[in-house]
Amino acid sequence: MRIHVCLFSRLAYLAIFLGGLSGFWAPVAECVAAADYPTKPVQIVVAFAPGGSSDQVSRLLATYLSKKWGQPVNVVNKPGGGGVVGTAAVAQASPDGYMVNNGQVNTLAFAPAAQKNNPYNWDSFTYLARIGVTPSVLTVNANSPYKTVKELVEAVKKDPAKFKTGVSGLAGTGAFGIAQLLQSAGVDPAKVDMVSFNGGVLVITNLAGGHVDFVAQQLPEVLEMVRAGRLRALMHTNAVRLKELPDVPTSKEAGFPAYSVMAASGYVGPPNLPKEVVSKWETSIANALKDVEFAASLKKVGLIADYQNARDYRAWTEEQYKSAQHLAVSLGLKK
Amino acid sequence: MIYYCFIGVFIGTLVGVLPGIGATVSIAILTPITLGLGPTAAIIMLAGIYYGAMYGGSTTAILVNIPGEAASVATALDGYQMARQGQAGPALGISAISSFLAGTLSLVLLMTLAVPLASYALRFGPPEYFSLMVLGLTIVVSLVGKSMVKGLLAGIFGMILATIGMEPLTGQSRFTFNSVDLMAGIDFVAVVVGLFAIPEVLENMEGSVLEVYKARLKNLFPSCEDLRRTGSPMIRSAFIGFFIGVLPGSSGAVAAFMAYNVEKNISKHPERFGAGAIEGVAASEGANNAAVSGAMVPLLSLGIPVSPPMAVLIGAFMIHGLRPGPMLFNNNPEFVWALIASMYVGNVILLILNLPLVGLWAQLIRVPYPYLAPGIMVLCFLGAYGIRNSFFDVAVAFAMGIVGYVMRKLDYPAAPVVLALILSPMLEDALRQSLTISKGSINIFITRPISLTLLILAAISVFLSIYSRRKGSKATAAFVEEDNT
């Protein structure tokens, strides 16, 4: 009998405890009205390991936003699967704006376009704002006989099987940039051997070591090696000439406008985010880019500030997705 | 400056003790905070975190068999056995002394060889990496334990685990059963925690839990005999660690295992390795610290980060307005030399900071095991969660704990699983890259001189391991009769 009483009282305690818990949470859940967003800490999910561009930019922005919003903004790294894992986690997050993702063109547009069974599509997100872009630079080893894009392309046309190119994953900006160039020059991209490395650093290392012949990597990755005379930049995808590399032509000037791939960094959240959350992010990022100190540190990590509001960023990503679908076919990733 | 170096080393040692929360994450979190400091002070502090963490990982490996990062797995093999025999003090002491000695020696190598070595690192293309990984995998032979077949099976199990996730070339998923979590692959920290620490706790609880560690701590500091025995292993490990560390894409773990393997193969009593050989601890710790200096070669001379913590460090350079690249030595010499000087100071601070702590840490095992065990378990799962903030990794650690317990009961060694899990993704990448370059011909591995040399070394390594195994098993027969350790 005593045992029964004891058990009963324990159950009662448990019930009170659980009741208390739900009573505690219920108002919080209602309170997540978006009007005075954010009312609690915000998480920026970076789908890559610490140290990359996505991580650096997000940490700088998090420091800035924490100050402006009076709420902690934290960066959480969820690396793996070439960025797909962390991005998928945000696509499935609850639509309150407290978990957003640093979206890259690779994860938002290229992965859904090129990979079978990708867990999300390009439109599985609420687009918030684009913060900046990084041009792609067509680069060869400094010892390479090819001094201009035309010389390189002519040689590749003559004997595509002789050439090897290095990329970081077959569904990334590097591979798509090379496919754009080769297709527009009338060479089947599948005829040139693409050696895929685990990260841009290894692509550059192998180009500098002479193990591959040409690459299309992002500006910050190649800049110092080009300046030091170990690598030679042939053209880049920025709209105008770059201050960092004033002698290198844009792809339009070089006569290959089809080579246009750009890496982009922006912020997206799960679908159906409240309007207030979207406009808060739009204005905050626009203001951040006007902040002298923030803009200066952004430049140091190699991102060219290029703001787009939610609508333009979404439209731009859709465009990237569509062109990536064609490129994926030409690379033999999809049929 | 010394003050910032001290803070960095101190934070690094603290986070190194926690598994999963390694150098990479701490540097990334602290980088924005250092914006107020000058670039040199900031980088010195962040670099301090790096080598502090490399050292800190060995503490838990030795005391409770939780290797906090891949580089301490080889340390745990003998360090933990020493701790159980009441030798925690000497094991921790030797690991501090060896880290210091090999760290300092490798810095001399860094200063004298940085420039010529940078081009040596560039000559390593995919075929060379492939052969290096083959050489690395031959170490499995010396980790197999009693039965060769069981050891090799454990290695294959590790390779199979490594294939889970997104395939490196085209990004298609393998063995993921449409699970997003599996797409990220199996993280090795979860596996290490599961295969090493959890089965250890479970097994200890079967018997009399009060006698897990020999109650009496024999001595706190290494004896003269210990120092004499570990002198040459420390120096050898400095060289091995440094030269492996220089190669982009390799890691401290590869260096530690290679140094361990060399010591085991040239030892007169290879059978002592795995049962508490102090040379094993010295070799592994020395090599992983020397690898840090090695990794500075491509970072400072080419701007190429070798390992994830280095990549974060390069980000910190950029935020502080320094441009790491081939011109860094010319443009910012004062910065480069201050950094190298700080590494000397950092190594001294590590020694000063840690030798007195050895006594304190060693007391930890006096805590009655029934109280210690839950703490170990909490640390394990916390570490597994900390890797990438996901409960999936906690589940993996739990599952691996059960697998590890069964393996232990059936006498399957755990170390080959971890080694294969670390090496096979790199092996696969390098193999497929090489074959793309050679258009499918495997001759590429024997026509390139560095690659061929590495393959020959791999053959010698297998031969030596088998030879020392024969020698070892004969010696054990005699050894067992006189001493039961």
Cα torsion through B182, B187, B191, B192, rounded to 10: 180
CA distances from B132 to A217, B174, B259 (A): 27, 25, 14
DSSP letters, A112-138, are: HHH-TT-SS-TTSSEEEEEEEEEEEEE
Task: With CB atoms and an 8 Å threshold, state whether B326 touches A228.
Answer: yes
Q: In terms of Cα–Cα distance, which of A173, A180, A171 is closest to A136?
A: A173
pTM of the shown model? 0.83
For residue B448, which residues of chain A lie inside 8 Å, CB to CB?
A: none
For residue A171, which residues of chain B lie inside 8 Å, CB to CB?
A: 170-171
Tokens of B285: 């710790």
Chain A, chain B: beta-carbon pairs less than 8 Å apart: 171
Of A84, A171, A212, the CB nearest to B183: A84
Hey, how many other C-beta atoms are within 10 angstroms of the C-beta on B339? 21
> Which stretches of chain B drop beneath a pLDDT of 70?
20-21, 170-171, 209-211, 214-218, 249-250, 472-485
Task: With CB atoms and an 8 Å threshold, state whether A205 touches B325.
Answer: no
- Cα–Cα distance, B126 to B415 (Å, whole number): 26
Task: With CB atoms and an 8 Å threshold, state whether A197 touches B433.
Answer: yes
Of A88, A115, A223, the CB nearest to B171: A115
Q: Which residue of B has its CA nearest to A120?
A: B180
The confidence score (pLDDT) of residue B20 equals: 65
- Cα–Cα distance, A274 to A97 (Å, whole number): 8
Contacts of B173 (CB under 8 A, 6+ apart): A81, A117, B165, B166, B167, B182, B183
Q: Which residue of A has its CA nearest to B385?
A: A78
Return the bridge partners of A194, or none: A165
For residue A229, which residues of chain B lie inside 8 Å, CB to CB?
A: 326
Q: Which residue of B has its CA nearest to A224?
A: B325
> Which stretches of chain A drop beneath a pLDDT of 50?
1-32
Q: Which residue of A has its CA nearest to B389?
A: A78
Task: With CB atoms and an 8 Å threshold, state whether A81 touches B184.
Answer: yes
For residue A78, which residues of chain B lie inside 8 Å, CB to CB?
A: 388-390
Q: What is the largest CA-CA distance in chain B?
A: 65
ipTM (interface pTM): 0.83
- 3-class secondary structure per residue, B211-236: HCCCCCCCCCCCCHHHHHHHHHHHHH
Chain B: closest CA distance from residue A195 (Å):
5
- Cα–Cα distance, B378 to B375 (Å, whole number): 5
Task: With CB atoms and an 8 Å threshold, state whether B439 touches A193.
Answer: yes
Cα torsion through B158, B164, B166, B172, rounded to 10: 130
Of B181, B314, B321, the CB nearest to A51: B314
Of A51, A211, A225, the CB nearest to B326: A225
Of B121, B171, B325, the CB nearest to A171: B171
- Average model confidence (pLDDT) across chain A: 86
Q: Scanning the structure block, which residue is given the tokens 């490399």? A: B54
Q: Scanning the structure block, which residue is given the tokens 């609850």? A: A94
- Cα–Cα distance, A102 to A299 (Å, whole number): 17
Tokens of B479: 């050894």
For residue A208, which residues of chain B lie inside 8 Å, CB to CB?
A: 122, 302
